Structure 1
């Protein structure tokens, strides 16, 4: 999209100024960058058919349109259970996880964490829209009500109901994160040592490992099966580095050439790993824009 001097070019330029915010809104609403881009593109197509003179507040108009498009997508997902959204790999945000580092609230807010994503997906579409727009983007309830076709009080009630459901998915205190990191570190140490019993001690009996490679998704269930898989993977000549993967303790893996080979996120509950999500698909890794090999890990991994 290019800018120029005509009315349509001016409109396109004004839209581009709003694009980043609109994609962010849609991404939190839908949990998918691709779906968010599609929703924003639909908003542009609708804007291009409008008379700009009839739009008093372009930002508000676009937020309304994107919100309604996202609402339609969320409702369609519920109507088509044969293609469940939670079968798709969530888009992962990778950040440093250094001992003693302060909570990076801004970065965590940018991420739709694994646990939060699951909770958001249980909300009704209207609840999700009200919560995301108000709590994450400070959109007034009056504007949210217009998007939903409801009163501001009704929109406020929807957001409040959603907030109660989501509270369990909010970022954890630093002390809790450190305890969870210790569990993941114990898992990695046991895997490298080939310590099957050590692995079993930190794995929940019903742990699930979802791995995404270029060949597709593989799901392993049960502590014994996951422990055997972890032992095999630890024999590879790789370098690992602690990281936060969507707010969960995990690792980034580099091969001997310095190329990123994978990321792994672990969900810890009651001192044991209950879920592992790993990605080794080169295309997905490339989309994460991960750094090149950073050198030795001061933690010894």
Structure 2
């Protein structure tokens, strides 16, 4: 008699696929917080599915735990590969953007969300080693027990605890002060106002000398470096933001503007540090806008013309 749980059993395969889909969002979140890239996270999750499809489901006692282990190990391999190839620049890609709720009506909530989704993530990615990062992300953000984190790292439970503690201390040391979200948004608002009014000196005061501007337009992706060059082209930013609403874009202050027909016109995202803009991203390319995770456009005011 055939084993109902064998990989060849169609019903068993359907159950495994359904179980995997129920875990997909969580796995994608784990991979994204490890890698800082939506595209890389999707690749990791897809690889996890391929590995699962080659397994006997009956041999997996805890599917959620098994998948978390696989995604953690794949992500760790990706991080270590990046470290081993310092000559490869990962900044040449257009930053991955996703709009999250929040737009300035509740500054305290905005700051908390920016910290948890964006700023803390940047700290993790930029200051932690791969093993520290994995221990911190899995335990502190996804409540994976240390006795499960250790084997993923190839270390003891005690060593995993130590790595997470070290990572947690670094994140806490770099935590933005209370009100940081509101202050960052004020810098962005001032920048857009200066751009609209052609206040070149005002723009220079708000831009970090080494600011980086990435523009994704129908003509392709272009990068501009330096405050003077970015200030000269600042009218594009003000024009793209015209009539837009304030949002958080991957935890950063940003603006999304829409056409009258409800299709997105532009997305802007800003990174602010010490009262100055250090990085800007402007997306006006329709194909790129279609791939971004944007919330629904604002509803027209009652009585407005169709």
Cα deviation for residue 218 of structure 1 reads 2.1
Q: For 2:241 and 2:162, how far apart are their aligned partners in 1?
A: 54
Long gaps (5+) in structure 1: 297-301
- 1:59 aligned partner: 64
2:96 — aligned with what?
91
3-state SS in 2 of match to 1:226: helix
**Within 2, Cα distance between the matches of 1:275 and 1:122?**
18
CA distance in 2, matches of 1:278, 1:236: 8
Aligned partners of 2:167 and 2:156: how far apart in 1?
17
Residue 295 and residue 267 in structure 1: after superposition, are their counterparts in 2 closer, same or farther (change >3 A)? farther
> Looking at both structures, which has the greater relative contact order when contacts are Cα pairs under 8 Å and sequence separation is at least 6?
2
Segment of structure 1 superposing worse, 248-257 or 62-71: 248-257
- Cα deviations by residue, 1:115-163 (Å, 9 ceiling, x for unpaired): 7336414422211111110111010111010111110111111112222
How has the CA–CA distance of structure 1 residues 134 and 215 changed in structure 2, closer, same or farther, with 3 Å as cutoff? Answer: farther
- Counterpart in the other structure of 2:6: none
> Structure 1 32/257 Cα, relative in aligned 2: closer, same or farther at 3 Å?
same
Q: What are the Cα deviations for residues 83-119 of structure 1, in whole angstroms up to 9, with x where unaligned?
A: 33333233223233123455158855773x2673364
What is the TM-score normalised by the length of structure 2?
A: 0.82
CA–CA distance in structure 2, aligned partners of residues 115 and 144 of structure 1:
20
Deviation readout 1:242-265 (Å, 9 max, x if unpaired): 222222222223346553222222
Q: Does 1:202 align with 2:206?
A: yes
Q: Could you say which residue in structure 2 is the equivalent of 1:76?
A: 81
1:138 aligns to what SS in structure 2?
coil
Answer whether contact 1:206 1:274 (CA < 8 A) is retained: yes
1:134 aligns with 2:157: no
Q: What secondary structure sits across from 1:103 in the alignment?
A: helix
Deviations 1:165-211 (A, max 9, x none): 333554652x2222222221111111111222222232233322222
Partner in structure 2 of residue 245 of structure 1: 249
> 1:9 is matched with which residue: 11, 14, 24?
14
From the superposition, tell whether residues 14 and 104 of structure 1 become closer, same or farther in structure 2 (CA, over 3 Å).
same
Q: Does 1:124 align with 2:129?
A: yes
Shift in alpha-carbon separation, 1:282–1:172, aligned structure 2, 3 A? farther
Q: Which residue of 1 aligns with 2:3?
A: none
Aligned residues: 291
Question: Matched residues in 1 for 2:239 and 2:267: separation?
Answer: 16
RMSD: 2.9
Offset, 1:236:
7.0
